[in-house]
Amino acid sequence: MEHHDLLSGLIRLHVLHHAAEQEIYGQWMIDELAHHGYRLSPGTLYPMLHKMKRDGYLVSHQEREGRTVRKLYTITPKGREGLALAKDRIREFAGEAMHK
């Protein structure tokens, strides 16, 4: 994806936002992000989810659905804290940058 490094923080926040509302899984998140104009491949999203888990923002568990095993992610208290902080900062940034 073009400008991936620049936008990756926003993508992470998007993931946190949805993981705060419901259990999410990789392909669902890829489709959701595509609606917002972020085209991510599994090869980009999955390592991102793993790192967010390692960093304590998400937890995951496996769920079997027929033959497929799906990894479901939900937000942690640290994730909620980070999301709330980021939302404050985004509000502040939008006030400054989108004012004109």
Binding site for Zn ion (CB under 5 A): 32
Q: Using CB positions, name the residue nearest to Zn ion.
A: 32
* Exposure on the CB side of residue 11, measured as CA atoms within 13 A: 27
Shortest CB 15 distance to Zn ion, Å: 9
Q: What is the DSSP letter of 24?
A: B
Looking at the Cβ atoms of 31 and 96, the one nearer to Zn ion is 31
CA separation, residue 44 to residues 8, 27, 30, 47, 99 (Å): 10, 12, 10, 6, 33
Looking at the Cβ atoms of 24 and 60, the one nearer to Zn ion is 24
Shortest CB 34 distance to Zn ion, Å: 10
Looking at the Cβ atoms of 23 and 32, the one nearer to Zn ion is 32
Helix (H, G, I), strand (E, B) or coil at 59: strand
